[in-house]
Amino acid sequence: MLKSRLRTAALAASFSVASLAVLANAETLPTAGEMFNKMGFGINIGNTMEVPGNPTGWGNKFPTEAYIDSVKAAGFNTIRIPCAWDSHASNGVINESWMDSVQTVVDMCMRAGLVTVLNIHWDGGWLEENLKDEKKDEVNAKQKSYWTQIATRFKDYNENLLFASANEPATTDDNYRHETEILMVYHQTFVDAVRATGGNNASRTLVIQGPSTSIDRTTEVMPVSKLPKDVIENRLMVEVHFYDPYTYTLLNDIVDWGAQVYPQYYWGDDLATGADIVHNCGYNAWAGAMGDKCTSAQIQDQFGKMKTNFVDKGVPVIIGEFGANDRVGVLTGDNYAKHRKGRLAYYDAVMKLAKQNKVVPIAWDTGHEGENNMTIIRRQSAPDGSVFDMDVLKIMRSAYGLGDYVNSGITHVENFKAGGETTDIVNGAQLGEGLARATPGILRVGNRLESAGEIRLFNLNGTLVRTAINGMSLENIPHGIYIAKGAGAMVRVDIR
pLDDT at res. 435: 33
Q: Other C-beta atoms within 10 Å of 286: how many?
A: 11
* pLDDT tens digits, 62-83: 999 999 999 999 999 999 999 9
Q: In whole angstroms, what is the distance from residue 146 CA to residue 94 CA?
A: 7
Are 495 and 447 a contacting pair, CB within 8 Å? Answer: no
Backbone phi, psi, residue 334, to 5°: -65, -35
Q: Exposed, middle or buried by CB within 10 Å (0-12, 13-18, 19+), for 384? A: middle
Q: What is the pLDDT of residue 23?
A: 45
Tens digits of per-residue pLDDT, 426-459?
665 433 333 333 345 888 877 788 888 889 998 8
What is the chain's mean pLDDT, rounded? 91
Name the burial class of residue 164, with classes exposed (0-12), middle (13-18) and buried (19+) by CB atoms within 10 angstroms of its CB: buried
Taking only the tens place, the pLDDT of each residue in 38-60 is: 999 999 999 999 999 999 999 99
Long-range contacts of residues 9-16, Cβ cutoff 8 Å, at least 24 apart: 11/231, 11/232, 15/231
CA distance 280 to 334: 15
**CA triplet 375, 381, 386: central angle to 5 degrees?**
65
Instruction: Quote the pLDDT of residue 398.
Output: 98
pLDDT tens digits for range 94-105: 999 999 999 999
